[in-house]
Structure 1
């Protein structure tokens, strides 16, 4: 598992190869295994593979352009009916999204997280593009496909960001 964590990268360039349905299901299973406050499991997902909708989602914000080139995009949504504690759903969906990204890597796929929430303008564009009901809040868009880029491991460990017991200001 550590190899998957170390090798996960945001990839924005994909081949034309379709993503197999069984891999999509495994990715969603991993996303739904995430911890959640009070076991609320406030997540829902939309699998987008329609080219017109992918193109529309690529225009919701300036950092989403790559979505139109991906074979699929998973929209990560929060279900308001399952928001049991104020503000906790965002942490829950963050954990779910990270599981999703890691399983995509584990499945030999590339992915990229595009943030949606809390920017109301972007949230509303996604709601319209996906024709979402009022109780579903767009949290993130995850493009997924086979990489067109060479992935290179980058060691991000920085011992200067780690403290024992207390942060010391010197």
Structure 2
């Protein structure tokens, strides 16, 4: 898919096939996120792959705009590291760029995807942090090659 075609035809998709997503496809989406620009090339993102139905259902109950997670086989939570030393507080823009890259990659790979924001709603941040055991210095910003892929599976 050409870049402009991907940008102009990408849409937020909220209904999904229950079929599992191939791990190689997920890795390609993550690679796209990891190749996003970041301030000073700090790459302050962490990606949590969520493919356990019970967790996806719990998240859909916690987040008022995440009801569609009940029907998806996989979600990726993009988180930012607040301890990024060089460019403090740029993690928000960096994670946003990574999220957009992943949305475009998912579209190119024939997957439906939607961006569901969490940050800066403190209550949702804390609920997801508790549910997924995310450390306090990592912030959930949105419900990727480098062999140093910073990912966690749930």
Pairwise same-fold verdict (TM > 0.5): yes
Which runs of 4 or more aligned residues in structure 1 lie more than 2 Å from their structure 2 counterparts after TM superposition? Answer: 83-87
Partner of 1:69: 71
Q: CA deviation at 1:85?
A: 2.4
1:90-110 deviations in whole A, cap 9, x for unaligned? 111110000010000011000
3-state SS of the aligned residue for 2:113?
strand
Instruction: Quote the Cα distance in structure 1 between the aligned partners of 2:97 and 2:62.
Output: 23
Q: Where does structure 2 lack aligned partners over 5 or more consecutive residues?
A: 144-154
Q: Where does structure 1 lack aligned partners over 5 or more consecutive residues?
A: 142-170
- RMSD between aligned residues: 1.1
Partner of 2:93: 91
Q: Please, what TM-score do these two structures have when normalized by structure 2?
A: 0.88
3-state SS of the aligned residue for 1:75?
strand
Partner of 1:57: 59
Instruction: Quote the Cα distance in structure 2 between the aligned partners of 1:53 and 1:61.
Output: 12
Q: Please, what TM-score do these two structures have when normalized by structure 1?
A: 0.80
3-state SS of the aligned residue for 1:111?
coil
Q: Which has the higher strand share?
A: 1
The number of residue pairs the alignment matches comes to 141
- 8 Å CA contact retained: 1:101, 1:111: yes
Partner of 2:24: 22
Instruction: Quote the Cα distance in structure 1 between the aligned partners of 2:62 and 2:10.
Output: 24
Change (3 A) 1:126 1:83: farther
Greater C-alpha radius of gyration: 1
3-state SS of the aligned residue for 1:12?
coil
Q: CA deviation at 1:129?
A: 1.5
Partner of 1:114: 116
